[in-house]
Structure 1
Amino acid sequence: MEVLLLGTGAADGWPNPFCNCASCADAAQRGEIRGQTAALIDDVLLLDCGPEAPRAAVRLRRNLAGVRYMLLTHAHTDHLGPQALLFRAWADAGHVLEVIGPADALDACRPWVGPDDPVRFVSVTAGDRITVGNYDVGVLPARHKVFRDGDSVLYDLTGPDGSRILWACDTGPLPADWFDRVRGTAFDAVFVEETFGDRSELGPGHHGLPEFAETVAALRRCGAVVDSTDVVAVHLGHHNPPIAELRERLRACGARPGADGEVLCVGAERPVHRTLVLGGVRSGKSRHAEELLASYPTVTYVATGGTHEGDPEWSQRVALHRERRPDSWSTIETSDVAKVLRDAAGPLLVDCLGTWLTARLDLHGVWNGGDAAAVDADIDDLLDAWRQCRVPVVAVSNEVGSGVVPASASGRLFRDMLGRLNASVASVSDTVTLVVAGIPVSLR
């Protein structure tokens, strides 16, 4: 089952367009813009459809013409933009759309549907279990209301391949007996709202960070969340701390923040994701790479620079890097990166390709007219290992092509070879990011 997160933000998104708090400023600076939470399942089923969801799908290069089912959790306007039904009527989809949800949410939709429009409404309440095409759907109660108790629900969704997810958005903390309904389900992924961050006092209808941690712990105790479950926080708002801190705090309870545009292949072996992070000196590229892997409990940091005996400035750089990494991370100092990539059993951070290339040039004596072809062979071996790597991996590299032409022949050689190496690694990476002045800019 493929889950595309069309949005992962709260009603006002994150950042709030009218806010200049530190959390919003950080999100804006990073370019991590979250829209209203919704998801597209296998291109045929929408989980909630707020006013921003259809346009988000288009921006993510997805067409909604094939959507046959729309599961609504409740009638709050960030989860239900009924005007989408009118827009659909202006195009000939060629099939009936089933709109499924609590009665009040369906009532909000009816004025937007003409008498001959191919739309069928299916009212559900907590406790129902229905078949939706090839999907089995359990309807669960939510601690959230629009007009009256019971007018909001959550969904337990099983796909055609047997994969199973929990869509728990919106809801506040749930009573103890709620967890009996999902006991032993061992979900492949759970999406739990986490709206209020450190402002839990704002209301009982949403989770703050403490309540989120308690809900995840309760899901673990009842066997709904197991070691293989991907626990994803959604409906994130600006009452949360800046994203780097949020990642750390969610990691403490075995969860991570979702991201707009993220695709999850639920139930299948988690897809390998290869990320290249480029940047100039002191651009923040290493810190950004570390943040990308912050949700994993253990990561192997592959330090390609080795040790520099008698160089206190280098030792200080290494110490600063180590201090900001979690204690659970391990470090390997080696220039044989290809072997590490092939042997890895868990996530890797390779920092960096520039020092790796320097080590290979040293090894083959290229600075003094040695065998440059041997370095090319090493690069081919690295690229082959990068393609074959079966774990999530992030590699950091220096972007050296934007400065002045180096004055020395060796400097020009290094610049040219690293530029070609970066381009080659980028061509076989899933994500490529350039960090400029601490701001990550997505290139792919």
Structure 2
Amino acid sequence: MDLTFIGTGAADWPRDVLFDREALSQGRHRGFTTTLLGQNVLIDCGPRAVEEMHVFGIDVPAIDHVLITHSHGDHLCPDAIAELAASRTGRALSIHGDVEALNTLKGIAGVDLHALCPGVAVGVVGLTVLPLRANHPLPNPAEVPLHYLIDDGTKRLLYATDGAWLPPQTFYQIRECVLDAIVWDATIGESRGDWRVFEHNSLPMLRLMAETLRRNGCLPPEATVFLTHLARTLHDDHSSIVATYARDGFTVAHDGMQATV
């Protein structure tokens, strides 16, 4: 399973900074969190996501499916979805997510909307995608934020951002499998006493959850834990945190980073 981290930043990164490939690749600037699976499945599509994909030479018209985690503006931008759909000729773009998130996209030309239900797996171009409930508050209380357990037949990836502590039912479902990798919300860094722990992860939280998953046999030592959705104001510079967080077995992603699970 191939991953390309298009954007790795939280919502506090400036929206109007000119994208510079070198700065993005060095973690000196970050776009909003967006990840590409293989060549044709995108997870989230916030403002400027299409622009950043062009910076990294991504074949944008090849994207057939978008998995939406939730409708916060840094993760789901209707204008960006419309731009992505318009890049395709004669082929609808399939959007998957909670029905309330999908409702914000009604009326956009060239898209097919597919509502997901937590705990009910669906097939997406050779992948088995199991949506799981996330712990992340939203303005619309009817919307369910989602994490994704993604299986390509040989590897399993947990995509878990945005969200804080894993809800119990989500943990119980994860516990039934062995993970090869996690892409995890790491918004807060080492800060303690930060109110955002009720909707995002800090490094102490990630350490506890990773240890628990390991002790329960679902996160083996060879599995890779990628950190994404990093806040500009809550972490040291990229080169520093790469070394520091590696001590806990965490890999800090940067925009444009590619990895194979």
Query: TM-score normalized by structure 2?
Result: 0.87
In 2, Cα distance between equivalents of 1:92 and 1:247: 37
Bigger proportion of residues as helix: 1
Match of 1:234? 228
Contact 2:227–2:253 (8 Å) recurs in 1: yes
Change (3 A) 1:49 1:199: farther
Q: Secondary structure at the match of 2:210?
A: helix
Q: What does the per-residue CA deviation read over 1:372-392, in whole Å, with 9 as the maximum and x for residues that have no partner?
A: xxxxxxxxxxxxxxxxxxxxx
Asked if 1:188 corresponds to 2:173, the answer is: no
Aligned counterpart for 1:102 among listed residues 98, 101, 108: 98
Match of 1:136? 128
Match of 2:60? 64
Asked if 1:205 corresponds to 2:199, the answer is: yes
Segment of structure 1 superposing worse, 39-48 or 86-95: 86-95
Larger radius of gyration: 1
Instruction: Give the residue type in structure 1 aligned to 2:211.
Output: A
Change (3 A) 1:214 1:52: farther
Asked if 1:256 corresponds to 2:251, the answer is: yes
Q: Secondary structure at the match of 1:110?
A: coil
Match of 1:6? 6
Change (3 A) 1:257 1:96: same
Contact 1:43–1:67 (8 Å) recurs in 2: yes
Change (3 A) 1:65 1:224: same
Instruction: Give the residue type in structure 2 aligned to 1:152.
Output: P
Contact 1:180–1:222 (8 Å) recurs in 2: no
In 1, Cα distance between equivalents of 2:87 and 2:180: 35
- Superposed, 1:281-292 pairs within 5 Å as none
Cα drift, residue 43 of structure 1: 1.2
Contact 1:6–1:40 (8 Å) recurs in 2: yes
Match of 1:154? 147
Contact 1:46–1:70 (8 Å) recurs in 2: yes
Cα drift, residue 252 of structure 1: 3.0
- Superposed, 1:332-371 pairs within 5 Å as none
Match of 2:260? 265
Count of matched residue pairs: 250
Cα drift, residue 157 of structure 1: 0.7
Cα drift, residue 120 of structure 1: 1.2
In 2, Cα distance between equivalents of 1:187 and 1:141: 17
In 2, Cα distance between equivalents of 1:17 and 1:139: 29
In 2, Cα distance between equivalents of 1:152 and 1:201: 21
Match of 2:20? none
Cα drift, residue 201 of structure 1: 2.1
Cα drift, residue 216 of structure 1: 1.5
Cα drift, residue 239 of structure 1: 0.8
Match of 1:52? 48
Instruction: Give the residue type in structure 1 aligned to 2:150.
Output: L
- Superposed, 1:293-304 pairs within 5 Å as none
Q: Secondary structure at the match of 1:109?
A: coil
RMSD (Å), alpha carbons: 2.2
Identity %: 28
Cα drift, residue 199 of structure 1: 4.7
In 2, Cα distance between equivalents of 1:93 and 1:56: 21
In 1, Cα distance between equivalents of 2:115 and 2:15: 35
Consecutive unaligned residues in structure 1, runs of 5 or more: 19-26, 267-444
In 1, Cα distance between equivalents of 2:255 and 2:149: 22
- Superposed, 1:387-406 pairs within 5 Å as none
Cα drift, residue 31 of structure 1: 6.0
- Superposed, 1:86-101 pairs within 5 Å as 86-101=82-97
Contact 1:3–1:42 (8 Å) recurs in 2: yes
Change (3 A) 1:103 1:61: same
Consecutive unaligned residues in structure 2, runs of 5 or more: 17-22
Cα drift, residue 184 of structure 1: 4.8
Contact 2:60–2:87 (8 Å) recurs in 1: no
Q: What does the per-residue CA deviation read over 1:170-210, in whole Å, with 9 as the maximum and x for residues that have no partner?
A: 00112455322111522221101010121552220001111
In 2, Cα distance between equivalents of 1:31 and 1:73: 23
Match of 1:217? 211
Contact 1:187–1:229 (8 Å) recurs in 2: yes
Change (3 A) 1:52 1:12: farther
Change (3 A) 1:31 1:7: closer
Match of 1:415? none
